[in-house]
Chain A
Amino acid sequence: MSATPLLELRGIDKSFGPVQVLRDVAFAAYPGEVTALVGDNGAGKSTLVKCISGIYPIDAGEFVFDGQPVTISSPRDAASLGIEVVYQDLALCDNLDIVQNMFLGREKRNGLVLDEPTMEQMAAETLAGLSVRTVKSLRQHVSSLSGGQRQTVAIAKAVLWNSKLVILDEPTAALGVAQTAQVLELVRRLADNGLAVVLISHNMNDVFAVSDRIAALYLGQMVAQVKTTEITHAQVVELITAGRSGELGLAVDPGVNGNGAAPADSTTGGVS
């Protein structure tokens, strides 16, 4: 698909005190594609996402967004670039309805008064654009929705703002089979609508079902970013657990390993 990445990270370092969580990470997300970000617990997936969304400042490295070098120092910067994150714990208010949740913090107003009809209409159009037909009424409280419906609302909230990059943190972790299929279909549709989508998941079936590329983190290093068609299930598991698989991943000799710069560069360079 598109050759130039929407978001490109180069040489990202991030430490918490003495613990280095991200080492020289390179990462790219392409418009119209789903990039799966995989890695074991503690590999640095969430930290990387929080760096992208401006929650954590980075120690070193550069961001290139839409061809322009940018600095993201707060969630507001990320939002103004068009980066939206759907967190694992959804961040919806149970006591508000779907429209109210989708516009929370960014309400449309007519002077002082909330412009409810416009918000309801925009929400309806967004959900219709995502072909969501599982929601009965836009005015029902989120508490009455199923897990899959809540996830749908959270994703719709993220795409409402003409966002360009949507990051989904484990969107299917708590869902049943049918609902997982619904959400994955929605994820695929986001990419087909031209958005760059980053999907964090532990579930290899989900990853292979929807992603175009797979980026694997291992102990804070990006060990591979390859096309999904060019890699097997078993290889991904090896990358996640051991940091390398055959030609892919970290160099065999731990002496050459250094800070992991060489292997990460060679793999990502080969793909893009």
Chain B
Amino acid sequence: MSITAVTKEGPAAVAPAPTVGSHVRGYWQRVRGGDIGALPAVAGLLVLCTIFSIMRPSFLTAGNFANLFTQGAAVTLIAMGLVFVLLLGEIDLSAGFASGVCAAVLANLITVLGYPWYVAVLAALLTGMVIGTILGFLVAKVGIPSFVVTLAGFLAFQGVVLLLMKEGRNISVREPVVVAIVNRNMPVALGWTLAAIAVAGFAVVQLLRYRSRAARNLINDPFPVVLGRIAALALVLGLAVYVLNLERSLNVLITSLKGVPIVVPIVAVLLVVLTFVLQRTSYGRHIYAVGGNREAARRAGINVDRIRISAFMICSTMAAVGGIVAASRANSVDPNTGGSNVLLYAVGAAVIGGTSLFGGKGRILDAVLGGAVVAVIDNGMGLMGYSSGVKYVVTGVVLLLAASVDALSRRRASATGNR
């Protein structure tokens, strides 16, 4: 039907224009057909927050809300990079320690060798890029399964961190700019301004898209839905900025502590940029294509090897960003930076958010939503006084739960022919 709607004869034969009702029904049908997207993450987030708020009122304070962002930032950033690799149906088990290596490079350059912060940050990012290139080359050109390559990387990078740390010393990072990333806040006004710019920018993009599609008689989302999206973003951002701008200091006379942590706009900008790359450029389209059907992508003239190598490069570079943030948060780098649970939290974040382990399905936003879930679990269980043993078990179970949801929804989708 929609085919006839867009022929040159004009809008006479238009299929029934989608209404809000049909839009919601269509969405519900997709969900029932197994295309659940980020629904489990959002639902999980709401449930967890409700439980923790009831059990521990201190969970629902402005101070703890800000903590969630600073605690979850590093894992979320690594997860955002992992989405690229997961979209190809590959895995990067070395991302955690790759972030450790990059953080170690940063700390050595700043504290031991006394370079300015921008040189160190650049060197850390470059280290990530080189690591990703090597991993990608081994996977795409040599043809070793990514699981094995990155498992080897996991072990080797652990060693590299130890070597860079001169056998287990920890190096403190006191450089003000690097420390500020996680530990300083933006002025109240700047937070509001950035939020307003974000909402306005989103509104302009959505409305322009609506207008250009309407002008060409293409099937459009109903206008109220478009407005609803903009309003929802404005509401969420407004609420978050409002809470973050509340006074968090226990004693205002000693120090004032309010404003959006500087790391938040960094995550937000990377979210927008990477989402743009994946959804609006042909490079992103090719990532999805390679993840969906590598042979089809090859026949379509896509350089599959180049796509695969570049995805690993992006992943490790994002791991470097995560490493820098982790170093900033801890004010130091030790041999365990990027170790222990960081990798599993990051993979968990991506998968909980709705990125498929089978490739071809996922968004950058998934990593952020999943990262929020992981941060809430970590933070809330800490407040409840559970030991890290219990935390590990629960996070493992949640990861397994998310992977089961992924596998089951995939099965349901193939049964209903949805995906």
Known: A91-B296, A95-B361, A104-B296. A137 touches B2 (CB 8 A): yes
Count: A-B pairs, CB below 8 Å: 110
B16, CB-defined interface residue at 8 Å: no
From residue A238, how far is it (CB to closest CB) to chain B in Å? 36
B413 interface neighbour in A87, A96, A133, A143, Cβ under 8 Å: A143
**Contact B296–A92 (Cβ < 8 Å):** yes
A233, CB-defined interface residue at 8 Å: no
**Contact A91–B299 (Cβ < 8 Å):** yes
A22-37 vs B: 1/0 string, CB under 8 Å?
0000000000000000
B193-234 vs A: 1/0 string, CB under 8 Å?
000000000000000000011001011000000000000000
A128, CB-defined interface residue at 8 Å: yes
Known: A105-B302, A120-B218. A114 touches B281 (CB 8 A): yes
Complex interface: chain B residues within 8 A of A143 (CB): 413-414, 417-419
B297 interface neighbour in A105, A109, A112, A145, Cβ under 8 Å: A105
Restricting to A74-94, which residues have a CB under 8 Å from any CB of B? 75-76, 79, 87, 89-94
Complex interface: chain B residues within 8 A of A133 (CB): 1, 3-4
B339, CB-defined interface residue at 8 Å: no
Known: A124-B6, A143-B413. A100 touches B285 (CB 8 A): yes
From residue A54, how far is it (CB to closest CB) to chain B in Å? 12
**Contact B213–A117 (Cβ < 8 Å):** yes
**Contact A114–B419 (Cβ < 8 Å):** no
| Chain B CB within 10 Å, residue with most, of A106, A139, A144 | A144
B40, CB-defined interface residue at 8 Å: no
Closest A residue to B416 by beta carbon equals: A144
* Bound: A143/B7 CA distance, A: 25
B74, CB-defined interface residue at 8 Å: no
B380-419 vs A: 1/0 string, CB under 8 Å?
0000000000000000000000000000000001100111
**Contact A96–B288 (Cβ < 8 Å):** yes
**Contact A91–B295 (Cβ < 8 Å):** yes
Q: Which 9 residue pairs are nearest across A and B when measured between Cβ atoms? A: A105-B300, A93-B292, A95-B292, A95-B360, A91-B296, A124-B6, A107-B282, A105-B301, A104-B300
B273-289 vs A: 1/0 string, CB under 8 Å?
00000001110011011
B301 interface neighbour in A75, A124, A135, A137, Cβ under 8 Å: A75
Complex interface: chain B residues within 8 A of A91 (CB): 293, 295-296, 299-300
**Contact A93–B7 (Cβ < 8 Å):** no
| Chain B CB within 10 Å, residue with most, of A75, A91, A109, A125 | A91
B291, CB-defined interface residue at 8 Å: yes
Q: Which residues on B are within 8 Å of A, measured CB to CB? A: 1-4, 6-8, 212-213, 216, 218-219, 280-282, 285-286, 288-289, 291-293, 295-297, 299-302, 360-361, 413-414, 417-419
**Contact B417–A144 (Cβ < 8 Å):** yes
Closest A residue to B8 by beta carbon equals: A125
Complex interface: chain A residues within 8 A of B218 (CB): 117, 120-121
* Bound: A100/B287 CA distance, A: 12
Known: A114-B281, A114-B282. A128 touches B7 (CB 8 A): yes
18 A-B pairs with C-beta separation under 8 A = A89-B295, A91-B295, A91-B299, A92-B296, A93-B292, A93-B296, A104-B285, A104-B289, A104-B302, A113-B281, A117-B216, A120-B218, A127-B3, A135-B2, A135-B3, A141-B418, A141-B419, A143-B417
- Known A95-B292, A96-B288, A104-B296; 12 more pairs at CB < 8 Å: A90-B296, A91-B293, A95-B293, A95-B360, A114-B280, A114-B282, A117-B218, A121-B216, A124-B3, A133-B4, A137-B219, A143-B417
Interface residue range, chain A: 35 or more
| Chain B CB within 10 Å, residue with most, of A89, A93, A94 | A93
Complex interface: chain A residues within 8 A of B414 (CB): 143
Closest A residue to B299 by beta carbon equals: A91
Q: Which residues on A are within 8 Å of B, measured CB to CB? A: 75-76, 79, 87, 89-96, 100, 104-107, 109, 112-114, 117, 120-121, 124-125, 127-128, 132-133, 135-139, 141, 143-145
Complex interface: chain A residues within 8 A of B295 (CB): 89, 91
**Contact B297–A93 (Cβ < 8 Å):** yes
* Bound: A79/B418 CA distance, A: 32
* Bound: A135/B361 CA distance, A: 23
* Bound: A100/B282 CA distance, A: 10
A121 interface neighbour in B6, B280, B285, B417, Cβ under 8 Å: B6
Complex interface: chain A residues within 8 A of B418 (CB): 141, 143-144
* Bound: A242/B300 CA distance, A: 38
Complex interface: chain B residues within 8 A of A135 (CB): 2-3
* Bound: A104/B302 CA distance, A: 8
Closest B residue to A109 by beta carbon equals: B282
**Contact A87–B299 (Cβ < 8 Å):** yes
* Bound: A139/B218 CA distance, A: 11
Complex interface: chain B residues within 8 A of A128 (CB): 3-4, 6-7
Complex interface: chain A residues within 8 A of B2 (CB): 124, 135-138
Complex interface: chain B residues within 8 A of A109 (CB): 282
Closest B residue to A91 by beta carbon equals: B296
Complex interface: chain A residues within 8 A of B302 (CB): 104-105
Complex interface: chain A residues within 8 A of B7 (CB): 124-125, 128
Complex interface: chain A residues within 8 A of B417 (CB): 143-145
From residue A225, how far is it (CB to closest CB) to chain B in Å? 28
* Bound: A177/B347 CA distance, A: 46
* Bound: A145/B413 CA distance, A: 13
B293 interface neighbour in A93, A107, A124, Cβ under 8 Å: A93
Closest A residue to B1 by beta carbon equals: A136
* Bound: A138/B1 CA distance, A: 10
* Bound: A137/B293 CA distance, A: 22
**Contact A117–B212 (Cβ < 8 Å):** yes
* Bound: A135/B4 CA distance, A: 10
Complex interface: chain B residues within 8 A of A138 (CB): 2-3, 219
